[in-house]
Every structure is written in C-alpha cells, then in structure tokens.
C-alpha cells in the first residue's frame, strides 16, 4: 500500500513519523519472504494514538513490525502499511534487580546487557531472534526459560481503548507460546525482575544453551524458528521427522534436514509456497497421528 502521495503523509510528518516508501518485507523478515509496502517509523510512543486515528480515518490498514523473526508475510503489493517502533540506544536500563526495556530492543541484546549487570534467569533466550515486544506477545521460551516468568509490568497501546496503558505482570496470563494480550495490543516497554547471579555463572549457562541450539537447529538458514507449536506432551519436530519429511519441499520452501519443525527458505521461496508446505505437513501429521498442529509462525495475509 502506498500512501506517500496522499495528504495523510503531511499529517503523519507533523507527528514526527518517518515514511519510507516501497519497503520490501523480504529484507525485514528472517524468512526472507514478503511483499512491498510503505513503512512508518514512529519516533515517539506518545504519538501512537494520533497516528492510528489518522490511519483509521483514511481507511488505511496497518500492522506492527517488530524483529520480523516469527512472521510469514504475503507476496506482492501488501494491502496494509507497517508501523515500526522507536528505540533509544541501548533501549534498556537496570535499577537493582529490575530491568526497564523498550519493546523494540533486541531480545538477545537484552539478555547480554542484563547478564553484564549480574542479572540472570534469561540464559535460555540468548539465541532466540527478535525483539522484546515480539517475545512478550508470544511468551517466547527456550531451554526451560520463558520471558513471561520475569515480567512485572508492561506498557502498551491498546487498540480497544485507543490509549497507552500499563498492565501489572499479575494481570497478564503467560502460557506456552500464548498470552492474554489482545491481537492488536502493541507492546511499548516492559519491566522485568531478574534473579541476581554472577556474570560468569550466567555466561556458562548461555554457552550451554548456545551449544545445544547450534547442534540441533539450522541457525545459518532463513527460517522463522519453529513453524508449529508443540502439541501438549508431544514434539512437532519429532513427528515430522518420523514421517520422513526432512528435505520435503514446495519450491524453495523446505523442511529443514537439521530440525524438522524449522521450515527454511532455500532461496526465493514465496509465501504461497511456504503456506502450501505448512498445509501439506499439517495434513500428513493429522492423518498419521490424529494431531492438528497449530501454527507458531504468525501469517500476515493480504
Ligand atoms: N526431534 C527429532 N527430530 C527433529 C527435531 C526434534 O527427533 O527434527 C526430537 C529431538 O531429538 C527431541 C525432541 O524432538 O527429542 C524435541 O526437540 P528439541 O529439543 O529440538 O525441542 P523442540 O520441542 O523441537 C522447542 C521449542 C524451540 C526451542 C527448543 C529448546 C517449540 C515449538 N519449539 O523445540 O523454540 O528452541 O524447544 O528449548 O516449542 C521456536 O519456538 O521457534 C523454537 C525454536
């Protein structure tokens, strides 16, 4: 969607929004798949309600783009613009055992920043790509750590009220790869409370997780991490592997031969090829195991 030649572009500029026309989401997502649209960089949280109001008035659809690491975006000219949040550098600070972090900050960078200040508890999250906002929304987890465990407060924009609000950690439900946030809530900042631990000890934990990840996941290929959530008590990766589907592909969209729940883009995979592969694998698992796998990857359809 192109809005740079519309009157709204001037009003957005007055709100300090930077408009970048014709951005390819191929370059903004870890899968390297996606169409083209205008990107709006928001410079101040305070302007978000006004920006959204303007877009609504003009009937312009929008989506929020975080780190782009768990996303499968439609091909071609997109029917929505993407909004991107600001982050100051480094986007985080620590007071005692509490870390205040901007949603746009990098998750791995946050783990390291806190570790250097002797705050641990997030070792398992070190290699998980993406932003703090994306991690919060889906309660990202790995190797026994889930970010939700440490959340004490979230500042967010609620589309339902059109206002910026604060939620106490206790008022948010964090389940396996699921939270009680509304789909159109936008994370802005988080307050994390973390256990004190000597840096050396945290570093040792980080090394163990990095090694496990390197030995089992296709880290040097374009992917969105695991495509499916694990079913209760089971492993999507193991089931897909048992069905002999490693290497199975639709065009360049391929089931990784390293970890079967990672679907990789081996070159120029399109969204529709990746969706076909996802549906095909889901159907085969359903037939063989009677299990209906739920997407972990978020799909932005046109
Ligand atoms: N397995 C296979 N073949 C495969 C992949 C896995 O047999 O191709 C077996 C493994 O040998 C193991 C079991 O399945 O016995 C589980 O595998 P793994 O330890 O790799 O964990 P996972 O359940 O597949 C989850 C998360 C990962 C996270 C790891 C480590 C989900 C959907 N995935 O993977 O998170 O990094 O545990 O904690 O919950 C992600 O969410 O994107 C992600 C990568």
* Token pair belonging to 243: 């069905």
**How far is it, in rounded angstroms, from Cα 126 to Cα 128?**
6
Q: Model confidence over 214-266: pLDDT tens digits?
A: 999 999 999 999 999 999 999 999 999 999 999 999 999 999 999 999 999 99
Please tell me whether the peptide bond between 133 and the residue prior to it is cis, using omega within 30 degrees of 0. no
- Ligand 1 centre and the CA of 184: distance in Å? 28
Q: What is the pLDDT of residue 215?
A: 97
Average pLDDT over residues 83-101: 91
Q: What is the pLDDT of residue 172?
A: 98
What is the number of the ligand 1 atom nearest to the C-alpha of 124?
Answer: 38
What's the pLDDT band for 87 if we cut at 50, 70, 90?
A: confident
pLDDT above 80: residue 88: no
Q: To the nearest whole percent, how much of the chain has pLDDT over 90?
A: 97
For all residues of the chain together, what is the average pLDDT?
96
**Contact call for residues 137 and 179 (beta carbons, < 8 A):** yes
What SS3 class is residue 172? coil
How many angstroms separate the Cα of 219 from the Cα of each of 26, 224, 227, 261?
A: 18, 10, 14, 13
Q: What is the pLDDT of residue 203?
A: 97
Q: Model confidence over 143-166: pLDDT tens digits?
A: 999 999 999 999 999 999 999 999
pLDDT above 80: residue 56: yes
- Residue whose CA is closest, atom 41 of ligand 1? 226
What's the pLDDT band for 86 if we cut at 50, 70, 90?
A: confident
What's the pLDDT band for 89 if we cut at 50, 70, 90?
A: confident
Is any atom of ligand 1 closer than 6 Å to the C-beta of 65? no
Q: Model confidence over 165-194: pLDDT tens digits?
A: 999 999 999 999 999 999 999 999 999 999
Pairing type for strands 92-95 and 98-102 reads antiparallel
* Token pair belonging to 67: 């780190």
Is any atom of ligand 1 closer than 6 Å to the C-beta of 142? yes
Is any atom of ligand 1 closer than 6 Å to the C-beta of 259? yes
Residue 42: phi and psi, rounded to 5, are: -85, 130
Is any atom of ligand 1 closer than 6 Å to the C-beta of 140? no
Average pLDDT over residues 187-212: 97
Task: Give first-to-last CA distance, the chain, whole Å.
Answer: 10
- Ligand 1 centre and the CA of 260: distance in Å? 9
What is the number of the ligand 1 atom nearest to the C-alpha of 258?
Answer: 8
- Ligand 1 centre and the CA of 144: distance in Å? 12
**How far is it, in rounded angstroms, from Cα 98 to Cα 107?**
16
- Ligand 1 centre and the CA of 102: distance in Å? 29
Q: Model confidence over 276-292: pLDDT tens digits?
A: 999 999 999 999 999 99
- Helix then strand then coil, % of the chain, to nearest 5: 30, 25, 40
**How far is it, in rounded angstroms, from Cα 119 to Cα 161?**
35
Q: What is the pLDDT of residue 90?
A: 81
- Ligand 1 centre and the CA of 256: distance in Å? 12
What's the pLDDT band for 294 if we cut at 50, 70, 90?
A: very high
């Amino acid at each position: 969607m192109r809005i740079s030649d519309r009157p709204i572009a001037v009003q957005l500029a007055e709100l300090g929004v930077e408009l970048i026309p014709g951005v390819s989401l191929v370059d903004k997502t870890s899968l390297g798949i996606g169409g083209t649209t205008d990107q709006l960089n928001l410079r101040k949280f305070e302007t978000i309600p006004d920006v959204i109001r303007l877009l609504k008035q003009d009937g312009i659809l929008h989506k929020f783009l975080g780190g782009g690491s768990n996303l499968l975006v439609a091909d071609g000219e997109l029917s929505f613009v993407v909004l991107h949040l600001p982050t100051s550098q480094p986007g985080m600070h620590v007071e005692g055992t509490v870390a205040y972090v901007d949603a746009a900050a990098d998750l791995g960078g946050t783990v390291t920043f806190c570790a250097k200040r002797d705050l641990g508890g997030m070792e398992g999250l070190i290699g998980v790509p993406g932003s703090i906002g994306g991690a919060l929304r889906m309660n990202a987890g790995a190797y026994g750590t889930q970010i939700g465990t440490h959340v004490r407060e979230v500042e967010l924009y609620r589309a339902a009220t059109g206002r910026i609000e604060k939620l106490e950690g206790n008022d948010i439900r964090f389940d396996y790869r699921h939270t009680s946030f509304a789909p159109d809530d936008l994370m802005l900042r988080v307050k994390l409370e973390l256990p004190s631990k000597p840096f050396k000890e945290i570093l040792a934990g980080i090394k163990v997780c990095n090694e496990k990840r390197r030995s089992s996941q296709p880290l040097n290929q374009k992917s969105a991490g695991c495509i499916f959530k694990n079913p209760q008590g089971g492993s999507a990766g193991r089931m897909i592997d048992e069905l002999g589907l490693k290497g199975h592909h639709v065009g360049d969209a391929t089931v990784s031969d390293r970890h079967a729940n990672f679907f990789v883009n081996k070159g120029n995979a399109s969204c529709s090829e990746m969706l076909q592969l996802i549906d095909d694998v889901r159907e085969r698992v359903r037939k063989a195991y009677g299990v209906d796998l739920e997407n972990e990857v978020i799909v932005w359809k046109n």
